[in-house]
């Protein structure tokens, strides 16, 4: 994964004010905000990176980008973030309506580096809100379909009502993506799969020896999924996970997000499983 951040320049940055230009409710506690700034060119975010989002007067949280609108010159005026309201800051951000202003610092961290998967099959495994950081990868691979082999998108959700991006899922299926969805708790109308997301791996039509996997979700889900992918034959170096820790400064100075020798905000959040596994298996690290 490529480290794109310039720590000195980035740390000097104060949050830039971005205006919410659209807000889409995804589930009862999750919304997708499209943000735009008008303060001149800023460095574009890449898939996998995160921003520190500020709810003014309340606080700041790290949120991975779920959409990147690149103007083509390496700069971007628009950002998309999918947020789940789980605490004071995220509740405030989630509730921000079009016209409201949110502070944005970033981009920070490593990228999914999906172009390096060109020529190989791609397996994307998402758990819950973990689909949001993977959305830019899916869109990028779909946009350049001929550069990649098969694309399997496997999604686990708590209930059918918790599924993100329902419209896009249907569109991606139409674009030739092999989409598998499973839920832990079906409702009466659910006709899809029931069970953990790793059960869908059996049916994924990819060649493990020539695949790259991208995994995002709760840490326990990522551990089980990464192990299952490796057991199927995907080398650990080609299984990428997105780590989640308590990021504060975003540039590797404060140490809040330290995971052993890794500062997740700087060396992550995206790391390969060969590097992540020994760290994730240490209790309380």
Partner 1 sequence: MTDQTTRRVSAHPFFAPLTEEQLAALSGDGTPVDYGPGERIFAEGGVADRFWLIGAGSVALDMRVPGRGDQIIETLIGGTVLGWSWLHAPYRWHFGAVAREATATIAFDAASVRQRCDADPAFGYAILRCFTPVIIQRLQATRLRVLDLYASPAQAGRAEARP
Residues that bind partner 1 in the complex, under the rule CB under 8 A: 29, 59-61, 84, 86-90, 127-129, 156-158, 162, 182, 184, 186, 188, 190-196, 198-200, 202-203, 217-218, 220-221, 224
Closest distance of CB 152 from partner 1, Å: 13
Query: If residue 31 lies in a helix (H) or strand (E), which one and from where to where?
Result: strand 30-36
Q: Compute the least distance from the CB of residue 177 to partner 1, in Å.
A: 18
| Nearer CB in complex with partner 1: 76/106 | 106
Nearest distance from C-beta of residue 180 to partner 1, angstroms = 9
Pick the closer one to partner 1 by CB: 146 or 283: 283
Token digits of residue 34? 């499209």
- Least separation in angstroms between residue 156's CB and partner 1 is 7
Helix locations, 35-187, DSSP H: 88-95, 131-143, 166-174
CB of 149 to partner 1, least distance (A): 20
Measured from the CB atom, the residue of 199 and 258 that comes closer to partner 1 is 199
Least distance (Å) between residue 199 CB and partner 1: 7
Q: Which is nearer to partner 1, 147 or 248 (CB)?
A: 248
Q: What are phi and psi of 151, to 5 degrees?
A: -125, 115
Nearer to partner 1, 203 or 278 (CB): 203
Collapse the DSSP code of 30 into the 3-class scheme (helix H, G, I; strand E, B; otherwise coil) and give the result: strand
**Residue 239 bridge partners (DSSP):** 213
The 10 Å Cβ neighbour count of residue 246 is: 12
The three-state secondary structure class of 261 is coil
* Residue 26 vs 162, nearer CB to partner 1: 162
Euclidean distance between CA atoms 239 and 241, whole angstroms: 7
Task: Give CA–CA dist 252/229, Å, rounded.
Answer: 30
CA 188 to CA 180: how far, in whole Å?
A: 19
CB of 4 to partner 1, least distance (A): 24
Residues ≥6 apart with Cβ < 8 Å to 176: 145, 151
What's the burial of 175, exposed, middle or buried (CB within 10 Å: 0-12/13-18/19+)? middle
| Separation between Cα atoms, residue 142 and residue 140, nearest integer Å | 5
Q: Which C-beta is closer to partner 1: that of 111 or that of 225?
A: 225
């Amino acid at each position: 994964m490529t480290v794109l951040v310039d720590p000195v320049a980035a740390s000097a940055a104060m949050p830039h004010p971005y205006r919410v230009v659209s807000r889409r409710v995804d589930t009862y506690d999750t919304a997708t905000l499209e943000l735009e700034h008008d303060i001149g060119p800023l460095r574009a975010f890449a898939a996998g990176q995160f921003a520190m989002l500020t709810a003014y007067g309340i606080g700041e949280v790290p949120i991975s980008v779920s959409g990147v609108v690149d103007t083509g010159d390496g700069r971007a005026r628009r950002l998309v973030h999918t947020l789940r309201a789980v605490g004071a800051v995220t509740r405030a951000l989630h509730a921000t309506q079009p016209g409201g202003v949110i502070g944005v610092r970033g981009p920070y961290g490593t990228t999914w580096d999906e172009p390096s998967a060109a020529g190989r099959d791609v397996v994307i495994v998402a758990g819950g809100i973990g689909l949001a950081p993977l959305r830019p990868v899916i869109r990028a691979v779909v946009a350049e379909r001929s550069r990649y082999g098969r694309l399997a998108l496997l999604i686990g959700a708590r209930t059918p009502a918790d599924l993100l991006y329902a419209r896009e899922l249907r569109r991606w299926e139409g674009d030739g993506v092999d989409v598998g969805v499973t839920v832990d708790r079906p409702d009466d109308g659910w006709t899809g799969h029931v069970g953990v997301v790793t059960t869908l791996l059996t049916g994924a039509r990819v060649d493990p020896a020539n695949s790259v996997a991208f995994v995002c979700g709760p840490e326990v889900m990522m551990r089980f999924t990464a192990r299952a992918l490796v057991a199927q034959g995907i080398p650990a170096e080609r299984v990428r996970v997105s780590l989640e820790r308590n990021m504060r400064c975003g540039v590797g100075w404060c140490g809040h997000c330290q995971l052993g020798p890794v500062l997740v905000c700087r060396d992550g959040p995206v790391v390969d499983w060969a590097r992540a596994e020994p760290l994730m298996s240490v209790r309380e690290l």
